[in-house]
């Protein structure tokens, strides 16, 4: 039963972890092949885009059976580590990528999607950034939030602070839902369905406008 609840929770928190590609299984197999303590594996999972903290916490609690007081800070720390490097070096990376036509097109496509998803950040700036990161749903999270902070020109240390606050809130939400097991999984499924339906009708309204 624990494994089933884990599957439902992580699916809702991480876009497509349980699609036909078996992304979750591949990740766990890769991580399990590392000769390291479970705490180190949780830290590494939290660093990975898409998975981040919302994948690391359910796996740490339900799969590795680690206590919440240990999983939570490790997952938060792992989720935050890449953010410093993204905000510090993304300008340099962008300049290098823009010199290669194919990489420039890929990066511009990512920029367009991020700007589109980051309306709340554009409107409310740092507070919007915190809320964007705090919502543990697809296309949100610390990785996307840091990219949006860069694109909208938010200051480095303010971005770090409000992304951190967002990560803390997301961690609390994910930990709470994970502790509820089947009830938490049901809430996560309902939230995901709501977001998908809302986005669908929003696209229809934009087309008809």
pLDDT, tens digit (0-9, with 9 covering 90-100), for 155-178: 899 999 999 999 999 999 889 888
Predicted local confidence at residue 43, as pLDDT:
94
What is the residue-wise DSSP string for 98-120?
A: TTSHHHHHHHHHHHHHHHHHTHH
Is the torsion defined by CA of 44, 49, 53, 55 positive or negative?
A: negative
Q: What is the pTM of this model?
A: 0.75
Check residue 107 and give its pLDDT: 74
When the pLDDT of each residue in the chain is averaged and rounded to a whole number, the result is 77
Percent of the chain with pLDDT over 90: 19
Give counts: helices (H), strands (E), the chain. 10, 0
Neighbour tally for 140: CB within 10 Å? 24
Kindly state the DSSP code that residue 83 receives in the 8-state scheme: H
The token pair at 1 is: 């039963």
pLDDT at 19 over 50: no
pLDDT(145) > 90: no
pLDDT score recorded for residue 158: 92
**Contact predicate 167/76, CB 8 Å:** yes
Q: What is the pLDDT of residues 72-81, one digit of tens each?
A: 999 999 999 9
Element (H, E) at 82: helix 68-97
- Lowest-confidence segment of 67-81, 117-131, 150-164, 180-194 by average pLDDT: 180-194
Q: Is the pLDDT of residue 21 over 80?
A: no
Distance CA 115, CA 137 (A): 17
pLDDT at residue 24, as a whole number: 54
Tokens read off for 193: 């369905």
Share of the chain above pLDDT 70, in %: 69
Which of 66-70, 146-150, 156-160 is predicted least confidently?
146-150
Domain ranges of the chain: 2-208
Question: Contact 6/45 with Cβ under 8 angstroms?
Answer: no
């Amino acid at each position: 039963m624990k494994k089933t609840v884990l599957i439902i929770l992580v699916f809702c928190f991480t876009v497509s972890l349980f699609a036909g590609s078996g992304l979750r299984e591949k990740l766990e197999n890769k991580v399990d092949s590392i000769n390291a303590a479970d705490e180190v594996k949780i830290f590494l999972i939290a660093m990975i885009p898409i998975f981040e903290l919302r994948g690391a916490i359910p796996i740490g609690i339900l799969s590795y059976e680690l206590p919440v007081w240990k999983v939570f800070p490790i997952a938060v720390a792992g989720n935050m580590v890449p953010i410093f490097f993204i905000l510090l070096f993304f300008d340099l990376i962008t300049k290098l990528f823009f010199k290669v036509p194919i990489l420039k097109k890929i990066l511009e496509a990512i920029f367009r999607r991020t700007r589109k998803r980051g309306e709340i950040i554009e409107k409310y700036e740092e507070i919007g950034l915190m809320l964007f990161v705090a919502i543990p749903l697809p296309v949100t999270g610390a990785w996307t939030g840091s990219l949006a902070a860069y694109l909208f020109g938010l200051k480095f240390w303010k971005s770090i602070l409000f992304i951190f606050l967002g990560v803390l809130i997301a961690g609390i939400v994910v930990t709470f839902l994970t502790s509820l097991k089947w009830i938490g999984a049901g809430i996560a499924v309902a939230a995901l369905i709501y977001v998908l339906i809302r986005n669908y009708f929003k696209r229809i309204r934009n087309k008809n406008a």
